[in-house]
Homo-oligomer: A and B are copies of this chain.
Amino acid sequence: MATAQLDVVGIGNAIVDVIAHTDDGFLAAASMVKGSMTLVDEARAETIYASMGPGVEVSGGSAGNTIAGIASLGGRAGYIGKVRDDLLGKVFRHDITSAGVEFPTPPATDGPATARCMILVSPDGQRTMNTFLGACVNLGPKDVDADLIARAQLTYLEGYLFDPPHAQEAFRHAAGIAHDAGRKVSLSLSDSFCVERHRQAFLQLVDHHIDVLFGNEGEIAALFETPDFRAAVERLRGLCELVAITRGAAGSVIVTRDQIIEVPAAPVSHVVDTTGAGDLYAAGFLYGLTQGKPLAECGRLASLSAAEIISHFGGRPETPLKDYVGAA
Contacts and interface: CB of A to CB of B under 8 A. Distances in A.
Interface of A: 21, 49-50, 52-59, 68, 86-88, 91, 94-96, 98-99, 312-314, 316, 318
B313 A55 contact: no
Contacts of A50: 94
Contacts of A59: 54
A54 B312 contact: no
A55 B21 contact: no
Contacts of A318: 21, 313
B21 A54 contact: no
A88 B87 CA distance: 9
A73 to B, nearest CB: 14
Contact of A57 (B52, B58, B96): B58
B94 A314 contact: no
A53 B313 contact: no
Contacts of A56: 56-58, 313-314
B94 A49 contact: yes
In this complex, which of A50, A58, A59, A96 has the most chain B Cβ atoms within 10 angstroms of its Cβ? A58
Contacts of A86: 87
Contacts of A99: 53-54
Each complex incorporates copies of this chain amounting to 2
A54 B72 CA distance: 11
Contacts of A313: 56, 312-313, 318
Contacts of A52: 98
Nearest to A86: B87
A91 B52 CA distance: 12
A21 B312 CA distance: 14
Pick the 4 closest A-B CB pairs, nearest first: A57-B57, A54-B95, A56-B58, A87-B87
A122 to B, nearest CB: 13
A88 B53 CA distance: 16
A54 B87 contact: no
A87 B94 CA distance: 17
Nearest to A55: B95
A318 B121 CA distance: 11
Contact of A94 (B54, B58, B91): B54
A95 to B, nearest CB: 4
A68 B20 CA distance: 14
A49 B98 CA distance: 10
A55 B96 CA distance: 10
A320 B62 CA distance: 28
B87 A53 contact: no
A99 B20 CA distance: 11
28 contacts: A21-B318, A49-B94, A50-B94, A52-B98, A53-B98, A53-B99, A54-B68, A54-B94, A54-B95, A54-B96, A54-B98, A54-B99, A54-B316, A55-B58, A55-B91, A55-B94, A56-B56, A56-B57, A56-B58, A56-B313, A56-B314, A57-B57, A57-B58, A57-B91, A87-B87, A87-B88, A312-B312, A313-B313
A57 B99 CA distance: 16
A182 B95 CA distance: 49
